[in-house]
Structure 1
Amino acid sequence: MPKARFRNPREREAFLRSVVNYRDILEAFDEGVILTDREGYIAFYNPAQSRIDQTEPEEALGLKATELYDLTDETSLIMRCLLSGRPVVNEHLVYRTRYGRIANTICSVFPLFGEGGELVGSACFVRDYHLVEQTVTSICSHTLPDGVDAQREQKRFTFDDLIGDHPAFRRVVQTAKTAALTPSAVMLHGETGTGKELFAQAIHAFGPWKDAPYVAINCAAIPENLLEGLLFGTVRGAFTGAVDRPGLFEKANGGVLFLDEVNSMPLGLQAKLLRALQEKRVRRVGSLEERPIAVKLLSSVNEDPHQAVEAGRMRVDLFYRLGVVFLRIPPLRERRSDIPVLVRFFVDRFNREMGRHVEGVADEVMDLFLDYPWPGNVRELEHVIEGAMNVVAERDRLELGDLPPYLVRRRPAAAPSEAPEPGPLPADLKEAQKAAERRAIREALEAEGGNITRAAARLGISRQLLGYKMRRHGLRREEFRRPDRGRAAR
């Protein structure tokens, strides 16, 4: 019988603690990892989970699981595990974070016990469902989805679906339309939820490639060892189990290839991508044969590419190659005048989808929407309205009580004065603000003779937002129209 290396469990545990830094291992996991205390407050949140949730660790640490995620003690797998003391293994869970991101995942949660057998916390392991699906497709069936038909079904959006009248947003749309007509590469820069995928699909649908394949891949969701084979293809014998399989460049040949979050691609693979773009040829993994390609290449980055270049996360030559046309999509907080238009659009859409008859939102809700910073941008606004439409019942307006608690809690406080007085704010502050707004609108309308467009320009807001505020304050343009002096003279 072989002799045991460790005489007792404590000796084994001491050895493990001396050679293993568990934090470094959990940080390097491809799966998301969340560690909580026994009450469900998050103590550890690894980079993979940050990518899945599109949430920075500092925004998650210290929050309770039911605060970070739009879940209850009954629907949260972490809380279920903590309350029962039993593991939850491989359960499918679709959830929404407090910042508006929706994730489709497979989760396992295990209770953590102290030396005395008491429950001290939980360990949650999260896998991105789409990544699992793609990995299974790649490894088990040894083929990419043939795809052209399935990928054509993804072409749902056109430029008509890009809602907004803010001048900065309309300039981006107009530039995108122009760029859609040429073979030049286009790079889209925008925060999470600004609509980079919508712009990519709209460019495809608008240009001469609209009837050709459209292939999209999120570079951040695929491990490096799979991404190269997915992009360039493989040949039989390149590695164990490899078969002849075309990559996404070949799948998109003659059409459009969209590389989402290309800034997350490893530098070594960036060099291979650059070579393929320069030579207009690809070489499958394990092959010496080069195959010609002709694609309209679209890409997106979720950080300033110049900063990514300076930090060494992106090759400068690849940036110049991909950013021939560079489009920065403004975040929602920079085009707040579009919020009423977007709210109307989403309310109308969910009315149709849910059979509701909601006419709009309460003034307090619109005030909150106009003040809130929207870190999740248009996607977060869409999800907030969708959630509210689910609970509004038979009422015809969305109220504050219909909104997620995190949104109401995060209402910005009024900026303090240079020498703030102690005690509560005046009770009539809100009415004073409304009166000042009404007075400013009246003065602008009087100065412009009731001309909505010029009055809006004078106030520095969009025509649509001014129209909304006029209805809110009971103002009609007819009150401010000047008589036709020429007609009166006759």
Structure 2
Amino acid sequence: MADFKKNRPGKFLQDLDNSDYLSIFDDISDGVIVANADGVIVYYNRSMSLIDELDPDNVIFRKLTDVYDLDDNSSIIMQCLSKQKPIIDEPIYYRTRMGKFANTIHNAMPIFSKNKLVGVICFIRDYHALSQTIASMPLPGKDQQFDNASITFDRIIGKDPVFVDAINFARMASSTPSPVMLFGETGTGKELFARAIHNHSSREAKKYTPVNCAAIPENLLEGILFGTSKGAFTGSIDKAGLFERTDKGTIFLDEVNSMPIGLQTKILRSIQERSVRRVGALEEIEIDLKIISSVNKDPHISISDGTLRSDLFYRLGVVFIHIVPMRERMGDLGLLVNHFIGKHNIILGKNVKKISNEVMKLFKKYNWPGNVRELEHVIEGAMNIVGTDEVIRSKHLQTHFLNRPLKAKSEVNKKRHDDAFIEDGYFHLIKNTSDHEKNIVENALLENRGNITKTARFLRISRQLLYYKIKKFNISRN
């Protein structure tokens, strides 16, 4: 009892000066528990009371082990107190002392005051609530910045020859049931291409479901995609997954290379069998889907580093489309700038006509690591502070953009150093890698007498990707 008084709840809150701070958590959707160093609950929000079906008045100032059927070893909060380290995304199935079962995911973080452990704050998300939220997230609608049904290939901005080829490949692929894989860096427009393929297909009236494979916790992704069967695990219910719910439509698996390898195996099986099996179920459910996937780095690199199954890549990449980064289609810069100015004039109620010559020079020198998405954000940021000016000038650009390094140009000092290329004193590994890649493609074409099919098979890439490489490096098949 002496220890409890020493760390009594009131003193704990005063030490942290948290009286107003904790009220922030009153109405958030996650359950929140704050316990002091003795494991006594000093804060318990409304969402947590819904998860546990307990009255907060019967929980506050009680020991965790008195409220839950847990001990110091099985309680995530008590483990966090013991280890004095954060415990992140830890699934736990527990029971309250009143008999309510809950299947949850915990994120517990220790709280220190003057280098002394004074308590723990824990965020709890109910498994079923989380999976239902993700599975039922609405697609952007007409009340947002664009109407998804109106996203067509004609609305994709660009005249760069390689980029236009990508659009044409995607347009042709939309009329077939074959899977399509989009390869492009973050911000190049993979989601735009995927929606355009769906809207140009015979499935346009059916459901389109985008799934960000990198954003969903690994322990939830399988149930969300395939669904669950009652009895599969404690607390599970019969629920259709996204594959079932999108039947006859199109599903877009974004950043599929971030998906766990074990789940990739199940995805491959479902594609081959054209059916899904819910988690814990025995029967197969037939599905008819157009599958579009994307990777944000070269799939051959992902295969070699073990993050992408080669057989899944060959199955999903029947049609492989490379969307080139912004730095390789700088001829489209003016078109894109004018497009985004027009778009945000409407959204922000502005009357901007153009960007200044100085800003255009800065844009042309910049490497655009965030690609087209970054360009739009830079334009939008400038238009928020342009006032009544009809021209975006350098003074309107955000400081973080102006302070970023610019792209080295051909006129700067260049020299060789060992096997790397140097521009302005910096190793240019991209240039060195491109030269090496060009030599490989040229030698492969020479070895196969310019035959595209044989060369693509020799390099273990698709014909579309080989055509892209030939155009990119200006290689003559002769």
Q: State the distance in 1 between where 2:3 and 2:394 align.
A: 68
* Aligned residue among 353, 361, 384 for 1:367: 361
The CA distance in 2 between the partners of 1:317 and 1:199, in whole Å, is 24
What residue in structure 2 maps to residue 206 of structure 1? 200
Preserved contact between residue 156 and residue 201 of structure 1 (Cα < 8 Å)? no
Amino acid at match of 1:278: Q
Match of 2:334 in 1: 340
Give the letter aligned to residue 376 of structure 1.
Answer: G
Partner of residue 145 from structure 1, selected from 123, 136, 143: 136
* CA–CA separation in structure 2 for the residues paired with 1:374 and 1:125: 39
What is the match of residue 404 of structure 2?
410
Structure 1 residue 155 displacement after superposition: 3.9
Q: 1:392 corresponds to which residue? A: 386
Q: How far, CA to CA, are the matches of 1:369 and 1:126 in structure 2? A: 43
CA positional deviation for 1:156:
4.8
Distance 1:204 1:125, change over 3 A: farther
Partner in structure 2 of residue 379 of structure 1: 373
Match of 1:260 among 254, 257, 272: 254
Match of 1:280 in 2: 274
- Structure 1 position 346, deviation (Å): 0.6
SS of the counterpart of 2:214? helix
Equivalence for 1:459: none
1-side partners of 2:323 and 2:369: how far apart? 14
2:344 is the counterpart of 1:353: no
Aligned with residue 136 of structure 1, among 124, 129, 134: 129
Question: How many positions carry a matched residue from both structures?
Answer: 318
Query: Using the alignment, how far apart are the partners of 2:340 and 2:122 within structure 1?
Result: 34
Looking at structure 2, the residues matched to 3 and 110 of structure 1 have their Cα atoms a distance apart, in angstroms, of: 19
- Separation of aligned partners in 2, 1:392 and 1:331: 28
1:180 is the counterpart of 2:174:
yes
Shift in alpha-carbon separation, 1:391–1:241, aligned structure 2, 3 A: same
CA distance in 2, matches of 1:341, 1:113: 55
Tell me the equivalent position of 1:59: none
TM-score, structure 1 normalization: 0.58
Contact 2:140 2:148 in 1 (8 A): no
C-alpha displacement of 1:145: 2.6
1:58 counterpart residue number: none
Question: 1:37-85, CA deviations, whole angstroms, 9 ceiling, x for partnerless residues?
Answer: xxxxxxxxxxxxxxxxxxxxxxxxxxxxxxxxxxxxxxxxxxxxxxxxx
Matches for 1:6-405 after TM superposition, within 5 Å? 29-30=88-89, 114-115=114-115, 136-138=129-131, 144-145=135-136, 154-405=148-399
Where does the alignment leave 5 or more consecutive residues of structure 2 unmatched? 5-36, 38-78, 91-106, 416-478
Q: Secondary structure at the match of 1:392?
A: coil
- Shift of residue 418 of structure 1? 6.9
Q: CA RMSD in A?
A: 3.8
CA shift for structure 1 position 378: 0.4
254 and 165 in structure 1: CA distance in 2 versus 1, 3 angstrom threshold: same
Query: In 1, Cα distance between the equivalents of 2:267 and 2:342?
Result: 43
What is the CA deviation profile of residues 223-252 of structure 1, one whole-angstrom value per residue up to 9, with x for unaligned ones?
A: 121111111111112122211111111111
Q: 1:108 to 1:272 in 2, by over 3 A?
A: closer
Q: Which runs of 4+ in 1 moved over 2 A?
A: 1-4, 19-22, 107-117, 123-127, 132-139, 143-156, 410-419
| Distance in 1 (alpha carbons) for counterparts of 2:365 and 2:128 | 42
Distance 1:198 1:149 in 2: 13
Change (3 A) 1:153 1:332: closer
Q: Distance in 2 between matches of 1:223 and 1:290?
A: 25
Letter of the 1:343 counterpart: V
Q: In the alignment, residue 201 of structure 1 is paired with which amino acid?
A: R
2:187/2:371 contact within 8 Å kept: yes
Paired amino acid for 1:138: S
Partners of 1:148 and 1:134 in 2: CA distance: 22
Does the residue aligned with 1:327 lie in a helix, a strand or coil? strand
Instruction: Deviation per CA, 1:282-315: give whole Å up to 9, x if none.
Output: 1011110101111010000111110000111111
Q: Distance in 1 between matches of 2:351 and 2:395?
A: 18
Q: Identity percentage over the alignment?
A: 46
CA pair 313-144 structure 1, distance change in 2 beyond 3 A? closer
- Residues 378 and 149 of structure 1: CA distance in aligned 2, closer, same or farther (over 3 Å): closer
| Structure 1: runs of 5 or more not aligned | 10-15, 32-106, 118-122, 420-490
* 8 Å contact kept, 1:155–1:214: no
User: Following the alignment from structure 2 to structure 1, what is the Cα–Cα distance between the partners of residues 382 and 296?
Assistant: 28
Distance 1:266 1:146, change over 3 A: closer
Question: Given residue 255 of structure 1, which amino acid in structure 2 is its aligned partner?
Answer: G
- Deviation per residue, 1:383-430 (Å, 9 max, x gap): 1101111100001100101111122122527765479xxxxxxxxxxx
Residues 368 and 411 in structure 1, CA contact (< 8 A), matched pair in contact too: no
Contact 2:84 2:110 (C-alpha < 8 Å) held by counterparts: no
Q: How far, CA to CA, are the matches of 1:335 and 1:150 in structure 2?
A: 30
The structure-2 alpha-carbon separation of the partners of 1:148 and 1:366, relative to structure 1 and needing over 3 Å to count, comes to closer
